Structure 1
């Protein structure tokens, strides 16, 4: 009986490790894939500025970069990976804050497209097994938002 319990525990651990490795490989692959379309956006609220670059990939997935410069905080610089579901972009934002590039944070984001404007939604976030998710059953608010993105020209850096 003890051997069966140990076997089940090891099997569950193996599944979690396998899933985590697959997700990391896919994220790296998406970041390196050549986009078919790139759009840039900016949101300004009081003294805060968020710059967003959205790359549309062949399979419809989205990758890109986002820089959040919020008043009285070090800038958050990172990458997004996600997909559109209808008119809403659901993505993971992996970023470092300020000069501390060794510690990576990861949060879910949701951005709703309304005409030519994109609204960064507010929602309850929960952590489960080290990952952050929007709470299921709790709506993401796209009406009472601070950050509304408008299209801007992309800056080419080489």
Structure 2
């Protein structure tokens, strides 16, 4: 009796698997490319004393956020990189993966949190911790969005 049930289950799985739509690799790529197309693009800029930070956010169909960020901080190497993350309520949590000018062989990755308030994005200051080579914002510690350097205002995209 057990072998009959097992045989029926295996046969059912095979039949269901063979009924699956046969998708060519090109169709799969087209579906993935469509899902990754931005539904909106927003550009922001923050200026603090001699520092300038440019941010381009692409909102994807899936609700995820991707984009580019360039940080020109006085007295430090220019940082150019990509951001990826998502909104949780009114806060955008991203990972910023970047290279520093003059050190293109090494890639850095930092977590960041932006609070969306009206037409502004405010880069928060939070407690970071590194465990096993991965840096993240400590969950139990609040992120300060009041005493900050960088407040991003919306600008037209280039």
TM bracket (short chain): 0.7 to 0.9
2:96 to 71, 83, 93: 93
- In the alignment, structure 2 segments of 5+ residues that lack a partner are 1-31
Structure 2 counterpart of 1:77: 80
Partners of 2:122 and 2:48 in 1: CA distance: 12
Structure 1 counterpart of 2:126: 123
Matched length: 126
* Shift, 1:106, TM fit: 0.3
- In the alignment, structure 1 segments of 5+ residues that lack a partner are 1-28
Q: Specify the structure having the higher radius of gyration (Cα).
A: 2
* Shift, 1:99, TM fit: 2.6
Query: Which residues of 2 match residues 4-153 of structure 1 at below 5 A?
Result: 33-153=36-156
Root-mean-square deviation over aligned CA pairs: 1.5
* Shift, 1:100, TM fit: 1.6
CA deviation string 1:63-109 (max 9, x = no partner): 00000000011101000000000001000000001132210000000
Partners of 2:139 and 2:61 in 1: CA distance: 29
The runs of at least 4 aligned residues of structure 1 exceeding 2 Å deviation read: none
